[in-house]
Structure 1
Amino acid sequence: MSAPPFASVKELEESLRAHSYLPDRGLAVAIYLAVSLDRPLLLEGEAGVGKTEVAKVLSEMMDRRLIRLQCYEGIDSTQALYDWDYSRQLVAIRAAQAEGKPIDDLFGGAFLVERPLLDAIRTGRGAILLIDELDRADNEFEAFLLEVLGEFAVTVPEVGRIAATKPPTVVITSNRTRELHDALKRRCLYHWIDHPSLEREVAIIRTRAPDVRESLAREVAMAVERLRTLEVAKRPGVAETIDWANAISFLGADTLESKTALETLGAVVKDHEDQQVVVAHLEEVLGGDNTK
């Protein structure tokens, strides 16, 4: 096994913080083990808690290319692995016919279109492969993915077997709209990312939005913490908390008051019915004392 990219969990944490990502200890340990032991990292949690950002930050930290496979309902191996450049094949056929030459190697490497999985296999160690929102794909695609992750190799009948000399670092995310198979989980290291604690969310706001005063950052983080306890369909993530703090600060406000909160509510709550719930409980969300 090659030397791990980070000497310790502490070194990894410091690097993450230097790239404006503030993990808790459990997440830092999971990332450290995944990149050190060449194990896929499966991150689950609600939307907006920072799952996708892990792969993006790792790409920057480790100076590796980020290859993203965005999953969706109906995705299959053609969209994920490889396809053929049919337009170029058609041009080649017409050119060969015009010159009276035989059509040769129509399904060779020159016409092979790499999709994210094949791209990551060929890139190998130089890539961070992000398989985003796997729960949106179906069971058949998940089973196919499990085979690819097993060997980091694929056989293209017309080209042959393509294998990674050393596997890429793999980050898989899921919003848990459905349960992923145990077989996939067994192949991965697993970590659940929850919404951050109050103190960590304040620190995240201050890191990502340095122009926001600490007192305002704390008021916003406290309000969002209360907001998440309401019966809303989509609880705001960290990104929405940062957006809200930025919006309020940009309007010149130093404190979170009801008037400003209502004017900027669209920065933190992105659903009409949820906004109605928040408006009905605004005094509770603001702590009961910011009603100006």
Structure 2
Amino acid sequence: MSDLPESVEATQALLAAGGYVADRALATTVHLALRMGRPLFLEGEPGTGKTEIAKVLAAGLPRRLVRLQCYDGLDLSAAAYEWNHARQLMAIRLAEASGETADRETLERGIYDRRFLQERPLLQALSPEGGPAVLLIDELDRADEPFEAFLLEILADFQLSIPELGTVKAAIPPVVIITSNRTREVHDAIRRRCLYHWVDYPDAVRERAILQIRAPHVPAALSAQVVAFVQRLRGGDYFKLPGVAETIDWASALAALDATELEPAAVEETLGVLLKYQDDIAKLRGAEVARLVAESKAA
């Protein structure tokens, strides 16, 4: 399609225009997914910016963003479609009251009409209403394994079969982004239908660039020290390592306290912004904070 970037460089520029600093490898995979019309499966630790890619693509192409947030117990009625049984029953009663009741087959065809169908995210992404879409299937690993079977038809053919109605096929296939935090393995059948990329934590140079874009109000010296601190922290043995979102929040919090550089006392007071588990906070306090602050300043 003409709205898609023509090169890897153009794709990287499109992401950068939306505030997303992508390395060459990630930009190449995104570009290929767009040009080949293939779903993109992004896997990585929480907080590495997987979901943000779909948001930036939707804004930059531009296309409407349709998001399916996965969770334990997610089923077809919540993910794809559901019949409005109350309206169907009302239609039957109105037909009976008006004496217009036809044979059973005709009546069934009438109540299984598109106007009685409640569209959920998967079907909304295939619908032409509102124009082309970016379909974000977020945190697929949170859904039950059997749910993945519902996705295979959409990922392969960009269509959905509804037994009572027929097959709904997208006139313009959506851009599909699937994310996973790898809390469990996603089935090979999903992976085969997608292009794959592991989204890792950014290196120091890229994280400083991200911080400069996302939190430009943070002083340059403080920003560099924050990134150096977080980079060293990610090398430790903690239950939940901080993602890029936590880096941005922490730098903003320190700037809000008028800090111009890292100090052990300020770090101790704001650890709840950076880390989300008490065991991790307790492990870091004291001498470990002082050591990381000293190393970050030296860097």
**TM-score between both structures, scaled by the size of structure 1:** 0.92
Deviation at 1:252, TM superposition (A): 0.7
Tell me the percent identity.
48
Deviation at 1:155, TM superposition (A): 2.2
SS at match of 1:69: strand
| Residue 9 of structure 1 pairs with residue 36 of structure 2 | no
| Residue 285 of structure 1 pairs with residue 285 of structure 2 | no
2:114 to 89, 109, 115: 109
C-alpha contact 1:278 1:285 (8 A) present in aligned 2? no
Deviation at 1:91, TM superposition (A): 4.1
Deviation at 1:90, TM superposition (A): 4.2
1:182-230 deviation per Cα after TM superposition (whole angstroms, max 9, x unaligned): 2221211111011000111111111000100111111111111111122
Q: Tell me which amino acid in the other structure corresponds to 1:123.
A: P
1:254 to 257, 260, 267: 260
Distance 1:288 1:174 in 2: 33
1:86-165 matches, within 5 Å, as: 86-93=85-92, 95-96=94-95, 99=98, 102=101, 104=107, 105-123=110-128, 126-165=132-171
Residues 75 and 207 of structure 1: CA distance in aligned 2, closer, same or farther (over 3 Å): same
RMSD over aligned CA atoms reads: 2.0
* Aligned structure 1 segments of 4 or more residues deviating by more than 6 angstroms: none
Query: Which residue of 1 is the match for residue 192 of structure 2?
Result: 186
**TM-score between both structures, scaled by the size of structure 2:** 0.90
1:40-79 matches, within 5 Å, as: 40-79=39-78
Question: Relative to structure 2, which stretch is displaced further, 273-282 or 216-225?
Answer: 273-282
SS at match of 1:123: coil
Distance 1:255 1:30 in 2: 37
Distance 1:278 1:161 in 2: 56
**How many pairs does the alignment contain?**
289
Query: Which residue of 1 is the match for residue 226 of structure 2?
Result: 220
Query: Which residue of 2 is the match for residue 229 of structure 1?
Result: 235
1:24-39 matches, within 5 Å, as: 24-39=23-38
Distance 1:180 1:81 in 2: 20
Distance 2:128 2:21 in 1: 29
1:246-281 deviation per Cα after TM superposition (whole angstroms, max 9, x unaligned): 000011110111111112111111111111112142
Residues 112 and 289 of structure 1: CA distance in aligned 2, closer, same or farther (over 3 Å): closer
Give unpaired runs (5+ residues) of structure 2.
none
1:65-86 deviation per Cα after TM superposition (whole angstroms, max 9, x unaligned): 0001111112122211110123
C-alpha contact 2:79 2:122 (8 A) present in aligned 1? yes
Deviation at 1:95, TM superposition (A): 4.6
Deviation at 1:44, TM superposition (A): 0.5
Distance 2:295 2:251 in 1: 19
Distance 1:215 1:76 in 2: 49
Distance 1:253 1:190 in 2: 41
1:15-40 deviation per Cα after TM superposition (whole angstroms, max 9, x unaligned): 21121110111100011111111011
Distance 1:226 1:134 in 2: 30
| Residue 201 of structure 1 pairs with residue 200 of structure 2 | no
1:99-145 deviation per Cα after TM superposition (whole angstroms, max 9, x unaligned): 56539422221110111111111239710000111111222111221
